[in-house]
Amino acid sequence: MADFYDVSLDVATPADAALLSNLLELYIYDLSEAFSVEIGADGRFGYSKLALYWSEPGRRFPFLIRCDGRIAGFALATRGSPATDDPNVFDVAEFFVLRRHRRSGVGRRAAALLWSRLPGRWTVRASEGNPGAIPFWAGVIGQFTGGAATELTRPGNPHAWRVFSFESPPQHSTA
């Protein structure tokens, strides 16, 4: 389990833009199994919003996940969520753990670090077409909140969305 590893969530700086851009390619490729995403003529999917993560501080929060100092994934969070009109609610926009590090608790630990880093009201959206994501989020959020999250289903195309909502209290212990 990742409790035996040192999982860290490090703020990504503009110097990490190329690294994040490369990881986003792997992430989008993974998600293309569930969503009809077309690859560009240059063989890349591209992620046009990446630069906004440094031009909109206070609204967008980019992080790298490291495991024992090695790159293990990333988390992109926003203030403001497509799931609610409340502009102050945080949202997990993108979240990715490299296959090499999966199913060892890295995602669980990184998610808890993310929510603890940004206390407040959170939403997490997961597509029902992404089979691993729903049990992952349901379990991790359930553990983080002690079962206090709410969960609803929103229509979506081609798949419905599962939306989890919960509060991350200030200085929540992630131990």
Residues that bind ligand COA (CB under 6 A): 27, 30, 95-97, 102-108, 126, 130, 132-133, 135-136, 139-140
Shortest distance, CB of residue 122 to ligand COA, whole angstroms?
Answer: 13
Shortest distance, CB of residue 124 to ligand COA, whole angstroms?
Answer: 7
Shortest distance, CB of residue 67 to ligand COA, whole angstroms?
Answer: 9
Residue whose CB is less far from ligand COA, 16 or 98: 98
d(CA 60, CA 68): 26
Residue whose CB is less far from ligand COA, 16 or 76: 76
Residue whose CB is less far from ligand COA, 64 or 133: 133
Shortest distance, CB of residue 43 to ligand COA, whole angstroms?
Answer: 20
Residue whose CB is less far from ligand COA, 15 or 156: 156
